[in-house]
């Protein structure tokens, strides 16, 4: 009754699946055929294990794989980073890319461009509706305002988040971590008990025998095997047979049988450090994957900021070029009036007209360059290149204000008078400016290098690779030894199948009458040429790993040293170009006055206009270069933190004493 109730409950849970219902119906048939209580209970147990194992849908398998990977990722995040953060490779119900196609009515070549969820299911597609439903319910944590028919406004912070959720390169990096987690789950599974089951039904008819018999043979077998980390391999199985004649006497026989075996390596291939090496490497590869992903996030965030500010710089050049063009148009009109009045020669009007046309060409070129850079930036973000996007010019203004406040001292905040511009004496000693206006990231060189050596995740990964290479040498050395293995096996009970089995007596499981054997095998190491080559190659790989570590460590130091040099150079550039802009503005103003008074030529005015636009562009470039150098130095020191949303946390918000006490894995 209990077995029957359990089966009815399982059938109720899967009542919409006809195939599963048929499988359980067959189970009742087998249950009715097997009358002996011992055989009946064992057969039901074995058959239920086998059938229930096949009742998991494809979507459930996907969900279970995700759960295993998520658990591993959180576990390794805590070890590798000392913290955990949300991680998912599932797409939200609606991506920003998909919204832009709808809001801005953008063309596309195939429905796949909107996302995999829109693909039509092909024939024989697995049942994954439950999994897709759970994926579509993921929260869209990125809220970017946008209305139909209007451009999408993007700030720097929004760009970082858009890239984290939409960039194809970013998604590839996340999937690499996820796949490493799946590999680790698979490696762990190698040392867990493995169950297998087989249901078998066979009908035979022997036409060559004197008495033609038709026999139905049914069997159910389940087994379990496990490999221990010491190298010991265990296998056990139990099964039942039923053989029944369908003709003449309708004789039948049933049996229960069981087998077990054990393998124990004593020399070659024994020991946890050898047997569990694939698992150890998979565990470490998962740590490396998380470190590489963290390193990628930091590099990617800096590159996004670089591209974003580069587009804004191009936008600023458009504004400067447009203003320059307007000024030259006004200057040309003024020169034309002076020429018509006979106050200026005709050739100066030609010069003014020529410069006006050149200014228009530069303005047009700046606009086209901006369009190209903006499209390339949209491609980096993972957005359609034909989407209408506007970047926030406020970010450039905020950057200019904050950077100037830090880098420009009071004596550099000059007035409009050229005579008040600081200038050096003729016999001055040439040297760089002092550190009184240095930025907050212009650290002492030794301190910066120390931070980099302790916090660069790629350096820690390569340090781990050296240890991996050392373990490979130990594994290769083990393969040179003799192989000594103890084997043991036992079996009890008998099989019953075919006409002969049906005419035999029932067979019980009798361990006291079982068959037992033991075997000792010794494989002497006479020929180990392949292993010898692998052993020598492992030493070569170790030396390569050490050299790679040395090279990377030197590169880390070089990156930090160059980063500090860049900060000094760009700081000086900001200060110089700030002065240059003020001087150029004063020069344009005074030249205009001299031209109206007839004390200057139009060429003087044109040159002053060119000097002003060059100084303005150079100042913007210096401001952006200094900001990117700040981010780049923090990235190179390994102290720029980036969360799951793509937003960074800079060094001033992190306690330095914590950075100096990070333990190596």
Place of tokens 């409009």: 416
Per-residue pLDDT band at 364 (split at 50, 70, 90): very high
d(C-alpha 306, C-alpha 314), whole Å? 12
In 3D space, the residue among 256, 252, 222 whose CA is nearest the CA of residue 241 turns out to be 256
Instruction: Please write the tens of the pLDDT for every residue from 38-76.
Output: 455 555 555 555 555 556 777 888 888 999 999 999 999
Min mean pLDDT across 547-556, 609-618, 621-630 is at: 609-618
Per-residue pLDDT band at 549 (split at 50, 70, 90): very high
Per-residue pLDDT band at 588 (split at 50, 70, 90): confident
Query: CB burial class (10 A; 0-12, 13-18, 19+) of residue 105?
Result: exposed
d(C-alpha 23, C-alpha 201), whole Å? 13
Residue 510, both tokens: 């009798």
Per-residue pLDDT band at 375 (split at 50, 70, 90): very high
Q: Could you tell me the pTM of the whole model?
A: 0.82
d(C-alpha 654, C-alpha 285), whole Å? 28
Q: For the residues 107-123, what does the mean pLDDT come to?
A: 87
Q: Do residues 387 and 104 make contact, with C-beta atoms less than 8 angstroms apart?
A: yes
Q: Cβ atoms within 10 A of the Cβ of 542, count?
A: 19
> Please, what is the end-to-end C-alpha distance for the chain in angstroms?
56
- β-pairing verdict for 194-206 and 213-227: antiparallel
Residue 109, both tokens: 């070549």
For the cut 70, the answer to whether the pLDDT of residue 433 exceeds it is: no
Q: For the residues 386-390, what does the mean pLDDT come to?
A: 92
Per-residue pLDDT band at 517 (split at 50, 70, 90): very high
d(C-alpha 253, C-alpha 506), whole Å? 5
For the cut 60, the answer to whether the pLDDT of residue 36 exceeds it is: no
* pLDDT at 274 (0 to 100): 94
- What would you report as the CA-atom Rg of the chain, rounded to the nearest whole angstrom? 39
* pLDDT at 662 (0 to 100): 46
In 3D space, the residue among 87, 558, 65, 470 whose CA is nearest the CA of residue 289 turns out to be 87
d(C-alpha 257, C-alpha 509), whole Å? 6
SS3 465: helix
d(C-alpha 473, C-alpha 537), whole Å? 9
Min mean pLDDT across 191-200, 318-327, 647-656 is at: 647-656
* pLDDT at 6 (0 to 100): 34
With helix as H, strand as E and coil as C, how does 313-345 read?
HHHHHHHHHHHHHHHHHHHHHHHHHHHHCCCCC
Instruction: Please write the tens of the pLDDT for every residue from 272-311.
Output: 999 999 999 999 999 999 999 999 999 999 999 999 999 9
Per-residue pLDDT band at 378 (split at 50, 70, 90): very high
For the cut 70, the answer to whether the pLDDT of residue 22 exceeds it is: no
Residue 122, φ and ψ in degrees, nearest 5: -80, 165
For the cut 80, the answer to whether the pLDDT of residue 656 exceeds it is: no
- β-pairing verdict for 252-265 and 389-391: unpaired
Q: For the residues 436-452, what does the mean pLDDT come to?
A: 86
Q: Do residues 597 and 344 make contact, with C-beta atoms less than 8 angstroms apart?
A: no
Residue 497, both tokens: 């199948």
Q: For the residues 84-89, what does the mean pLDDT come to?
A: 92
* pLDDT at 135 (0 to 100): 52
Per-residue pLDDT band at 79 (split at 50, 70, 90): very high
Which residue would you say has higher pLDDT here, 253 or 477? 477
Query: CB burial class (10 A; 0-12, 13-18, 19+) of residue 490?
Result: middle
For the residues of 12-39, what is the DSSP string, one character each?
HHTTT-HHHHHHHHHHHHHHHH--SHHH
Q: Do residues 164 and 304 make contact, with C-beta atoms less than 8 angstroms apart?
A: no
* pLDDT at 78 (0 to 100): 95
CATH code 1.20.1600.10 region(s) in the chain: 279-424+433-463+541-659
Which residue would you say has higher pLDDT here, 348 or 29? 348
Strands (E), 117-212: 152-154, 194-206
Query: CB burial class (10 A; 0-12, 13-18, 19+) of residue 366?
Result: buried
Percent of the chain at pLDDT above 90? 44
Q: Do residues 76 and 286 make contact, with C-beta atoms less than 8 angstroms apart?
A: yes
* pLDDT at 356 (0 to 100): 87
Min mean pLDDT across 176-180, 202-206, 507-511, 636-640 is at: 507-511
Residue 118, both tokens: 């829109």
For the cut 80, the answer to whether the pLDDT of residue 13 exceeds it is: no
Q: Do residues 393 and 312 make contact, with C-beta atoms less than 8 angstroms apart?
A: yes
Helix ranges (H only) for 341-434 are: 346-381, 394-407
Strands (E), 98-212: 152-154, 194-206
For the cut 70, the answer to whether the pLDDT of residue 392 exceeds it is: yes
For the cut 50, the answer to whether the pLDDT of residue 216 exceeds it is: yes
Q: For the residues 331-341, what does the mean pLDDT come to?
A: 84
Q: For the residues 611-639, what does the mean pLDDT come to?
A: 91
For the cut 80, the answer to whether the pLDDT of residue 394 exceeds it is: yes
* pLDDT at 596 (0 to 100): 74
Rounding to the nearest 10 degrees, give the CA dihedral for residues 29, 33, 34, 35. Answer: 120
Place of tokens 């900060």: 567
DSSP state of 250: -
For the cut 70, the answer to whether the pLDDT of residue 34 exceeds it is: no
Average per-residue pLDDT in the chain?
Answer: 82
Q: Do residues 162 and 144 make contact, with C-beta atoms less than 8 angstroms apart?
A: yes
Q: Cβ atoms within 10 A of the Cβ of 242, count?
A: 26
Instruction: Please write the tens of the pLDDT for every residue from 157-169.
Output: 999 999 999 999 9
Per-residue pLDDT band at 139 (split at 50, 70, 90): very low
* pLDDT at 48 (0 to 100): 59
List the CATH code of the domain at 279-424+433-463+541-659: 1.20.1600.10
* pLDDT at 652 (0 to 100): 65
């Amino acid at each position: 009754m209990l077995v029957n109730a359990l089966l009815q409950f399982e059938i109720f849970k899967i009542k919409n699946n006809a195939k599963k219902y048929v499988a359980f119906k067959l189970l009742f048939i087998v249950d009715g055929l097997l009358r002996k209580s011992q055989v009946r209970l064992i057969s039901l147990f074995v058959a239920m294990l086998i059938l229930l194992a096949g009742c998991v849908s494809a979507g459930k398998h996907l969900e279970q794989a995700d759960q295993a990977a998520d658990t591993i990722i959180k576990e390794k995040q805590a070890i590798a980073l000392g913290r955990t953060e949300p991680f998912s490779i599932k797409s939200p119900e609606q991506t920003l890319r998909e919204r832009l196609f709808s809001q801005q009515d953008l063309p596309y070549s195939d429905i796949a461009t909107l996302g995999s969820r829109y693909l039509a299911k092909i024939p024989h597609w697995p049942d994954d509706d439950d999994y897709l439903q759970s994926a579509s319910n993921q929260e869209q944590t990125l809220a970017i305002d946008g209305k139909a028919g209007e451009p999408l406004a993007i700030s720097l912070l929004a760009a970082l988040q858009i890239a984290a959720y939409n960039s194809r390169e970013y998604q590839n990096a996340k999937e690499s971590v996820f796949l490493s987690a799946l590999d680790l789950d698979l490696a762990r599974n190698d040392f867990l008990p493995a169950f297998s089951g087989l249901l078998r039904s066979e009908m035979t008819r022997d036409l060559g025998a004197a008495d033609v018999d038709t026999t139905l043979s049914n069997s159910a077998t389940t087994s379990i095997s496990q490999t221990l980390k010491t190298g010991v391999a265990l296998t056990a199985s139990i099964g039942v047979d039923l053989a029944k004649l369908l003709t003449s006497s309708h004789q039948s026989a049933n049996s229960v049988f069981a087998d077990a075996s054990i393998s124990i390596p004593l020399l070659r291939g024994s020991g946890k450090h050898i047997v569990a090496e694939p698992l150890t490497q998979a565990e470490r590869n998962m740590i490396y994957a998380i470190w590489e992903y963290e390193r990628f996030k930091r590099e990617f965030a800096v590159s996004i900021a670089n591209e974003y500010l580069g587009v804004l710089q191009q936008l600023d050049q458009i504004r400067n070029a447009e203003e320059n063009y307007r000024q030259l148009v006004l200057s040309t009109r003024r020169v034309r009036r002076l020429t018509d009045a006979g106050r200026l020669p005709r050739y100066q009007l030609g010069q003014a007209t020529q410069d006006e046309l050149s200014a228009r060409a530069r303005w047009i070129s700046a606009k086209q360059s901006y369009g190209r850079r903006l499209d390339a930036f949209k491609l980096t973000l993972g957005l359609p290149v034909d989407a209408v996007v506007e970047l926030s010019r406020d970010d450039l203004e905020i950057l200019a204000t904050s950077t100037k406040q830090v880098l420009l001292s009071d004596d550099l905040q000059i007035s409009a008078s050229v005579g008040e511009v600081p200038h050096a004496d003729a016999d001055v000693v040439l040297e760089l400016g002092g550190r009184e206006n240095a930025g907050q990231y212009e650290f002492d060189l030794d301190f910066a290098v120390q931070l980099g050596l302790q916090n660069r995740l790629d350096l820690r990964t390569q340090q781990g690779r050296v240890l991996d290479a050392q373990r490979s040498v130990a594994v290769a050395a083990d393969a040179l030894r003799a192989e000594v293995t103890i084997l043991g096996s036992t079996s009890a009970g008998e099989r019953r199948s075919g006409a002969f089995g049906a005419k035999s007596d029932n067979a019980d499981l009798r361990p006291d009458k079982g068959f037992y054997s033991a075997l000792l095998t010794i494989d002497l190491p006479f020929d180990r040429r392949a292993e010898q080559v692998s052993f020598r190659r492992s030493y070569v790989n170790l030396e390569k790993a050490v050299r790679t570590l040395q090279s990377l460590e030197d590169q880390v130091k070089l990156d930090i040293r160059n980063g500090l040099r860049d900060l000094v150079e760009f700081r000086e550039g900001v200060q110089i170009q700030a002065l240059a802009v003020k001087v150029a503005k004063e020069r344009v103003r005074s030249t205009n006055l001299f031209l109206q008074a007839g004390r200057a030529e139009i060429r003087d005015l044109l040159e002053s206009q060119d000097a002003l636009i060059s100084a303005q562009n150079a100042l913007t470039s210096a401001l952006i270069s200094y900001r990117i150098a700040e981010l780049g130095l923090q990235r190179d020191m390994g102290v720029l933190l980036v969360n799951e949303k793509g937003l960074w946390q800079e060094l001033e918000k992190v306690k330095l004493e914590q950075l100096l006490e990070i333990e190596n894995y």
